[in-house]
Amino acid sequence: MTKLTPIESEFATTEEAEAYDAWFRTKVEARMAKKTPGIPHDVAMARMQKIIDRRKQA
């Protein structure tokens, strides 16, 4: 188990980093394999702007 410093990585060990990388790649590959359309960029950005605006008002 190789320890990592916060300057090198957000993970404590290389094993944690590798496990996260494997999980993330699995998620991305699964989404790319789906045939359903994704959310258009402008729709996603509009949704995020609503969230930001609500947080600013709170």
Asked if 12 and 4 count as a contact pair (C-beta separation under 8 A), the reply is yes
Residue extents of the structural domains in the chain: 14-57
Residues 1-58 pLDDT 10s: 777 777 778 888 889 999 999 999 999 999 999 999 889 999 999 999 999 999 999 8
d(CA 54, CA 8): 35
Indicate yes or no: pTM above 0.85: no
Question: What integer pLDDT is reported at residue 42 of this predicted model?
Answer: 97
